[in-house]
Structure formats: C-alpha cells, structure tokens
Amino acid sequence: MSATTTVPPVPLADSRITLRGHLRHTGALVRRNLLWIKQDPESMFDALLMPVVFTLLFVFVFGGSIGQALGGGQEQYVQYVIPGMLAMMSMTMSQGVGTGFSQDFNSGVMDRFRSLPIGRGSVLFAKLAVELGRMLFATAVLMVVAVLVGFHITSWPGLFATVGLATLFASSIMWVFLTLGVVMKSAQSVQAMGFLVLFPLQFGSSIFAPTKSMPGWLQAFTDYNPLSTLADAARGLMVGGPVAHDLWVTVAWSVAITAVMAPVAIHKFRTKT
C-alpha cells in the first residue's frame, strides 16, 4: 500500500475571494484580535490610563497658568484643552497598529496567516478596525474624566461630530504606523520612530496651549499641522466657535494621508508576506 502525502492548503489569491469572503475573513480576524485582548487585558492599559493621566496632568498642573493667559482660570482651560486632547488621542492610539503588526511578524503569526486561505487585505482591515475600537474606548474614558474635572458638553451633536472627525483622522494616521510596523524590524523601533513623529506634532500644535505666543516660525508650522486644525475644529464643534475652515482642512489632510500612505502600506505588506 503506497503512502499518501498530505499537501498543505494553498492560500487563495485575493482576486479569487469574493467581497463576502473578505468581510467574513475580516470579521473572524477582528474576533481573533478581541479574544487576544480578552486573554491579555493589560494590552488595554494604555487606552484606559493614558486619558486619565494626561487629563489630570494638564488640567491640574498647567490649567491655572494657561487658563489665566486665556483670560480665565482652570475652568476655562478645561473647556480649551479637552477638545484638543480628543485630537491627541486620535494620533497617540494610532501607534498601536504599528507595534501590533511588528509583534505579529516577529512572533510568527503572519506565517500562520500566510498558510491560510484568507485574503491578505482582511488581515490589514481587521487590525485597523480593532485599533479604531481601542481609540474610541480611550475617547470614552477621556470624556468621563473630562466631565469629572468640570468639562461642560454644550453640544452633543458637536461631540459626536468631533468623534467622527477624530476617527477619520486616526484611520489615516494608522496607515503611516502600519507602514512603520511592516518596515521596521521590531516593536521597539516602531515606538521610537512613533515618538519622533508624535512629539513635535502634538506639542507644536494648539492642542495644549494657544499658538499666538509662539515664535513666528513655529506658528507657521502649527498653521499647517493637522492636529491644530483637528483640535480647533473640535473646539468649534463642542464649545462653540469657527468650524468650517478647520473641519475641511482636517478632512483634506485625512484624505491626502490615506491616498498616499494606504497604497504604500498595502504594497509593503504584500511584499513582506
């Protein structure tokens, strides 16, 4: 009797998988990522603690002095900084998609995905969906803490519009970090590079303080910084003020970043896998 040889399954090409198949695969991978979070709840500590720590730090350490510069006090600074911190959360939490992808490559998870008959795009979009969920969780925590420290929500539709705008911007920035996660050799490298990107963008913006007292060259940078336009649009939507210009500039930034970085990230991912 001749021995039979077991042939490993050959992954299907993306072009042969239907849209329904891609959606099914994406849903299964989202569930896999959520189960992983359930198994390792410590992975949610950043989403839980970062909004608390940053809110308390800036409100109670800098709130009095910056609030006076705004013509009020700590109460006025709370109304100023919380919409800005929504913008900060959208970018800070986006970094997780890059470190997560790097860990998956280094741990051999991607090798396992490569042997399965699933669309490669499903792996990308599942990761993006879970990280957006983590960002929304961090946003909810931020708003709870904000109300506790005295933030007044003057427009609920404005709040939901701000969350939608922040989600749109975060989804575009995730393509940048996804590219870093594929290209860089370790999660530590992704974190280091992310810090170099995040730090100047966050503090060289109107998130934490008005830009009028900044040097002229720095004001020129903040005027083109998408985090400034996102923060200013959030303030207009949530507490009142001009909205249209900053809103459309933020949307334009989001579309442009996605248009440039999404093809790069997908190409690098396909090449590496």
**Poorest-pLDDT segment among 100-114, 174-188, 215-229:** 100-114
CA distances from 94 to 98, 183, 248, 249 (A): 8, 16, 21, 20
Which residue is listed with tokens 């998609």?
97
Q: What is the residue extent of each domain of the chain?
A: 19-272
User: What is the percent of the chain where pLDDT is above 70?
Assistant: 90
The model's pTM: 0.86
Rg (CA), the chain: 21
What's the token pair of residue 128?
């993006």
Measured distance CA(64)–CA(73) in Å, rounded: 5
Type of residue found at 3: A
**Poorest-pLDDT segment among 64-73, 102-111, 219-228, 263-272:** 102-111
Q: What is the pLDDT of residue 169?
A: 95
Q: What is the pLDDT of residue 3?
A: 45
CB 103 within 8 A of CB 4: no
DSSP state of 41: G
Measured distance CA(174)–CA(180) in Å, rounded: 10
Mean predicted confidence (pLDDT) in 167-181: 92
Question: Does residue 9 surpass a pLDDT of 90?
Answer: no
Measured distance CA(114)–CA(103) in Å, rounded: 16
Measured distance CA(131)–CA(136) in Å, rounded: 9
Q: What is the pLDDT of residue 117?
A: 66
Q: What is the pLDDT of residue 273?
A: 61
CB contact burial 26-62 (16+ within 10 A = b; e otherwise): beebbeebeeeeeeeeeeeebbeebbeebbeebbeee
Q: What is the pLDDT of residue 270?
A: 80
List the helix and strand counts (H, then E) for the chain. Answer: 12, 0
CB 157 within 8 A of CB 243: no
Exposed, middle or buried by CB within 10 Å (0-12, 13-18, 19+), for 157? Answer: exposed
Q: What is the pLDDT of residue 2?
A: 45
Is residue 246 very low, low, confident or very high in pLDDT (cuts 50, 70, 90)?
A: very high
Question: Does residue 10 surpass a pLDDT of 90?
Answer: no
Is residue 170 very low, low, confident or very high in pLDDT (cuts 50, 70, 90)?
A: very high
Mean predicted confidence (pLDDT) in 12-16: 54
Q: What is the pLDDT of residue 69?
A: 79
Type of residue found at 208: F
Average pLDDT of the chain?
Answer: 85
Closest CA to 96 of 56, 150, 137: 137
Question: Does residue 4 surpass a pLDDT of 70?
Answer: no
Alpha helices in 149-215 (DSSP H): 156-183, 187-203
